[in-house]
A and B are shown apart, each in its own frame.
Chain A
Amino acid sequence: MAKILIVDDEPDMLKLLSMILREKTSYETTTTNNPLEAIELMKQGGFDLVISDLKMPGLDGLEIIDAVRKIDEDIPVIIITAFASLESASEAIKKGGFDFITKPFRREQILFTIDKALKWLKLQKENKALKEQIKKSEG
C-alpha cells in the first residue's frame, strides 16, 4: 500500500487532506505541519508520494522538492498552493515537482492527481526494473 507524506503549516488542511485520503483511498498517510520534520521523515524512507504546501514558515514547498529529490529522485511531489501565481507554479514544475493544485481545490482534483502520480511512480519503478533486467541480460 502506498505511503503518502503530507506537509502543510495549517493543521486543518492536514486534517482535511488526510480525511479525504482515508475515506476515499486505502493509502497510508503521514502528516506534519513542520517542514523540517517532513525532511526527517523522508530520510527514514518508505514514502511513495509527498504532498506539500508551497508557502510555509521555515522551509517552503520548493525547498521540500529539492530535499526530496536529494533523498529519492523518483518520489513525486505534488504542490498545493493558495497563492496561485503562474510563476511560482512553473518554478515548482521546473524544480521537479510532479504537479500543482490550487486552493481551494475540489476533492476529485486532488484524488485524480494523486492517482496519476502514483501510476507514474509505478511506471517509473517498472521502467527501472526492466532497464536493470536488460542490463543483466546484456551483462
Chain B
Amino acid sequence: MKSLLISLIEKYHPFNIRYFKSLVVLAITSLSGIVLVLGWMSSKNVREVVTEDFNQQQLLLARHAASQIENSIEVLKRELLLLSLSPSIQYSEAPSLMNRMNITFSSIKHEGTLGIGFIENETQKFYHVRDKHKCPLANLYHGDIDYLKWARLEENKGNILLTDVTPVLSLSDDQSQILIMKMISPVWQISVDASHPVATNKFAGALIFVVDAGYLIKKITKEIRSGKTGYAWVIDENGMFLYHQETSFISKNAFEARIGKQPTISFDRINEIQQEKMLKGKEGASWYVSGWHRGLEGEIKKLIAYTPIKLNDNTKDRIWSIAVVAPISEVEGAIYSIYVQHNTLQALVIFVILSGGLFINFIILSWSNTLEKEVTKKTADLKKSEQKYKSLVENAEDIIFSIDYNGNFLSINKYGARFFDKTEEDIVGHNLSEILSWPSAETFLLVIQKVFETKESQQITHLVIIGERQCWFSTNLRRLFDEKGNIYAVLGISRDITERRKIEEHSYYTEKLASMGTLAAGVAHEINNPLGVILGFTDLLLEKAPPDSQEYDLLKTIERQGLNAKRVVENLLNFARHKEHKEEFVDINKNIETVLAVMNNTLLINKISVKKQLEKNLPTVKADSAELQQVFFNIINNAIHAMQRGGVLTIKTMSFNNDTVEISFADTGHGIKKEHRNRIFDPLFTTKEVGKGTGLGLSVSYGIATKHRGAITFETKTKEESEETGTTFIIAFPTAYSEQVETK
C-alpha cells in the first residue's frame, strides 16, 4: 500500500516535468475558461442591466406620454362639463347658446377637438360648431340620437361617455383618414341665469365633443424619442393602432397590420405582449422581434416598454396602451463601449494568463532543456566513469567478484573468469563449490558468510585448489549494500600471490643463506685452527715415517681427510666471505669461454661434448666477473656430475628487449629427483657422494645471482617423467643498460 502510494507520488509528483507541463496547460486553459465565462456572464449582466435601464427610461417616456394623453382627455372632459353647466346650453338660449359653444370650441380646438354639438331633447334640434375642413359632423346622425337616450337616463347624470375611436374620412381636400372619438355629456337644466332664476331640473339634451383622437395622441407621441431612433405607438382597447410611426398602420388592427407588412416574420411575441399585457392594461417592459425600424428592414430585435392610458369612462373600461420601442442596437451602442472595455480587460487578463503560462512553459522548457543537457552530460559522465570503472575492473590484474550468502557468484571480471579457465557465463550463477575444489571452497565460504554475519570486512590469505592447480590468494572481502542499505552480496578482490609467496620463500632462503654465511665464517675460523694444527703435524710426521710403512698410509689418510675438511671450509668461507665485490661491465660470453677453457680437461675426461649457442653482441651486464665465473663453474660442475656416462651440455645465451640476458645450461643427465627439487638451493644440500660435494655450489650461485639482481631457475626431467632426461639451469641478469634506465 505504502509502496503503491510512493510509486504514484513518484509518477505524478509536480517535478515530473511531463505532468507539470500538462498541469500548467490545464491551469491556463481553465483560467482562460473561467475568465471567458466570467466575462460572458458579466457581459450578459451588463447587457441585462443596460437593457433594463434603457427599458426603464422607455417606460418613463411611456408613462409621461400616457399621463399627458390622460391629461388632455381630462382637460376636454372638464371643458365638456363646464359647457354643460352653461345656462345658455341648458335652456337653449339662442343666440347665446352658439356663442357659448364657439367660445369653448375656440379654446379647445387646438386640443384636437373638431367640433362641438348639442342635441336639444324636446326638439331634437342639433346645434353645433365645428372645424369645417375636417369635422364630418354636419348633421345629426342616427347614432347621436342614441347618445340622447343614454344622456336622458337619470343615473348618467354628471357622467361623460367616451365612444370607441372610429376612423372616418376627413372633409379636407386630401380626404385623409382621421380617428374620431366622441365625448358625450348629459345636459340638465340645473343652472340659473337672469331669464331662468329657478332651475327647472329638466333634462335638456346631450352635449357632444368630436375629438380627433389621432391628432391628440400624435401631438404628444410623435415627439417621443427613445434613444436615437426609438418611437412610440398607441393602441386602443380593441387593438387598433391609434398612433404609429408607420402612418399606414394607424386605424389598422395591430395584430394584423404587422403581418400584413412582413408576412415572413413571426410576430408572436409582440402579439402576446399586446394580448396579454397591453390590452389588459398592464405596465411592463420586454422585447420582441420586428421586421423593420424606421427605414430599416429585416429581423430586428426591439425593446419595448408599455403602459396603459386610462381614460376614466363611467360606462366601461376604456384603456388604451402606449408602447415605446427601440431597436436593441440603441442599447448596443452603450453596451458596445462597455464591451470594448470589458473585452479589452478580458483580453488583457487572458493575455497575462497566456503569457504567464508561456513564460512558465518557457522556464520549464529551458529548465528541462538544461536538465536534459545536464542529465545527458551526467549520463555521459556516468557512462564514462562506468566504463572507466568497468575497464578498471575488467582489466584489473585481480579477480574481482561478488557473491551471495550461499556462495553463488553474482558477477566476476574477465580476468577472474580467465583465471579459472572459464567464461563469465560459466561462473555467474554458479556456486563456489563448482569452481573450487574441496576443501578450499568450503573454507572460503565460511569466511564469506562470516562477513555477512559479523558485518566486518575480511582480509585473508588462503589456499585455493582449482582442479589440480594450487594457488595462494590474498582476498579482501567487504559487504555490498542495496539502495535500502541491506547487504545483498559480498565483494571480493582476490590476488593470486602464489608467485609472490615463492619470491618470499626465496628471500627467506636468501636470508637463511646470509645467516648461514655468518655462521659459516665463524665455523670456518674455528675449524681452520685445529685443521691447521692437524695438517701441520701430519705433514711433519709424514716426513718421518717410511713411505712404505702402514703409519705412512694412515698419516696420508689423515692428511687427505684433513684436506677434504679444508676444502669444505674454504667453500664455506667463499660462501660467507665478504669478499670485495667489484662490478664492472661484463661480457657474459667471454666469461663462459673462460670457465669452459678451465674445465676443458674435465669435460673431455667425462666424455661431455659442449654445444655453444652464444648470441653475438650480447648486451653487457654489470657484474663481478669472478663471481659470475664461480656460478658458471658450479653449474657446469653439477652438469658434469649429472652426466656420469657422458652427454651433451648445451650452453645458450640470449637477450630480451635489451634488458635481460639469459644464460641456459642444458645437460642430458639424469635430472633432479622430485623430492630434491625443493631443496637444491639449500646450503649444504648435496646428492654427491660424501667428500665430492659440499652442498654449497648452488646456494652460493643463488646468492651471487641474487646479489646481481638476477635469478636462477631450472627445469628438469627424470626418466620417470620423460624419455629425454636432463636439467636446464637458466640464469637471468638485467643488462647494464636496463639498470641505467632504472636508476635514471
**Do A and B bind?**
yes
A55 to B532, CA, bound (A): 15
Quick check: B535 and A104 within 8 Å, CB to CB?
A: yes
- State in angstroms the CA–CA spacing of A83 and B566 once bound together: 13
Q: Do the beta carbons of A82 and B532 come within 8 Å of each other? A: yes
On chain B, the residues within 8 Å of A12 by CB distance are: 530, 533
- Docked Cα-Cα span, A82 to B531, in Å, equals 10
Contacting residue for B531 out of A20, A55, A84, A103, CB 8 A: A103
CA distance in complex: A64, B562 (Å): 30
CB-based contact A10/B529 at 8 Å: yes
Measured CB to CB, the nearest residue on chain A to B530 is A12
Given A84-B573, A86-B579, A87-B578, do A13 and B529 touch, yes or no (CB 8 Å)?
yes
Contacts of B521 in A (CB 8 A): 83, 85
Nearest A residue to B526 via CB reads A82
B263 at the interface (CB under 8 A from A): no
Closest CB in chain A relative to B233 CB, distance in Å: 152
Which residue of chain B has its CB nearest to the CB of A83?
Answer: B525
Please report which residues of chain A, range 58-108, place their CB below 8 angstroms from some CB of chain B when the two chains form the complex: 82-87, 102-107
> Taking A20-B536, A104-B562, A107-B536 as contacts, is the C-beta distance between A82 and B580 under 8 angstroms?
no
Please name the residue on chain B nearest to A53 by beta carbon. B529
Verify B540–A20 contact, CB threshold 8 A: yes
CB distance from A23 to the nearest CB of B (A): 7
B: contact size bracket: 20 to 34
Q: Give chain B nearest CB distance to A92 CB in angstroms.
A: 15
Contact (Cβ within 8 A) A104 B580: no
A130 touches B (CB below 8 Å): no
A55 to B533, CA, bound (A): 16
Is B536's CB under 8 angstroms from A16's CB?
Answer: yes
Q: Tell me whether A13 and B525 are in contact in the complex, defined as CB-CB below 8 angstroms, given that A19-B540, A86-B579 are known contacts.
A: no
Is the contact region of chain B dominated by helix, strand, or loop, or is it mixed?
helix
Chain A residues near B536 (CB, 8 Å)?
A: 13, 16-17, 20, 104-105, 107
Contacts of A102 in B (CB 8 A): 528
User: Given A19-B540, A106-B539, does the pair A82, B529 have CB atoms closer than 8 Å?
Assistant: yes
Cβ of B537 < 8 Å from any Cβ of A?
A: yes
Check if B89 is an interface residue, CB within 8 A of chain A: no
Interface residues of A in 7-44 (CB under 8 A from B): 10, 12-13, 16-17, 19-20, 23
In the bound assembly, the distance between CA atoms of A106 and B577 in angstroms comes to 22
List, in ascending order, chain B residues with CB within 8 A of A19's CB: 537, 540
Q: B534-550 toward A: CB 8 Å interface, digit per residue (1/0)?
A: 11110110000000000
A16 to B537, alpha carbons, bound, how many Å? 6
B524 in contact (CB, < 8 A): yes
**What A residues does B577 contact at CB under 8 A?**
84-86
Q: Mark B162-188, 1 if CB is under 8 A from A, else 0.
A: 000000000000000000000000000
**Restricting to B628-642, which residues have a CB under 8 Å from any CB of A?**
none
Closest A residue by C-beta to B529: A82
A86 partner residues in chain B, CB cutoff 8 A: 577, 579-580
**CB proximity of A12 to chain B, nearest CB, Å:** 4
Query: Is the CB–CB distance between A103 and B540 below 8 Å?
Result: no
Nearest-CB distance from A110 to chain B (Å)?
A: 9
Q: What is the CA–CA distance of A55 and B522 in the complex, to the nearest angstrom? A: 12
- Chain A, residue nearest B536 (CB): A16
Given the complex of chains A and B, what is the CA–CA distance between A67 and B234 in angstroms? 171
CB-contact partner of A104 in B526, B528, B573, under 8 A:
B528
Complex: chain A residue closest to B573, CB-CB: A84
Q: A20-B540, A23-B540 are in contact. Are A104 and B531 (CB under 8 A)?
A: yes
Minimum distance in angstroms from B472 CB to a CB of chain A: 41
Cα–Cα, bound, A107→B533 (Å): 11
Across the interface, do B540 and A104 meet the contact criterion of CB distance under 8 Å? no
Question: What is the CB-to-nearest-CB distance from B560 to chain A, in angstroms, rounded to a whole number?
Answer: 13
Contact A82 B535 (CB under 8 A): no
Q: Which of A19, A104, A107: most chain B CB closer than 10 A?
A: A104
Contacts of B533 in A (CB 8 A): 10, 12-13, 16, 104
A23 to B578, CA, bound (A): 37
Point out the residues of chain B lying under 8 angstroms from A103, CB to CB: 528-529, 531-532
Query: How many Å lie between the Cα of A106 and that of B580 in the bound state?
Result: 26
Q: Please name 16 pairs of A and B residues whose Cβ atoms are closer than 8 Å in the assembled complex, sorted by A.
A: A10-B529, A12-B530, A16-B532, A83-B521, A83-B524, A83-B525, A84-B577, A86-B579, A87-B580, A104-B528, A104-B531, A104-B532, A104-B536, A104-B562, A105-B532, A107-B540
- 6 interchain residue pairs of minimum CB distance: A103-B532, A82-B528, A104-B532, A16-B536, A104-B535, A12-B533
Taking A16-B537, A83-B524, A105-B532 as known contacts, 7 extra A-B pairs with beta carbons closer than 8 A to each other, sorted by chain A number, are A10-B533, A12-B530, A12-B533, A13-B529, A82-B524, A106-B539, A107-B539
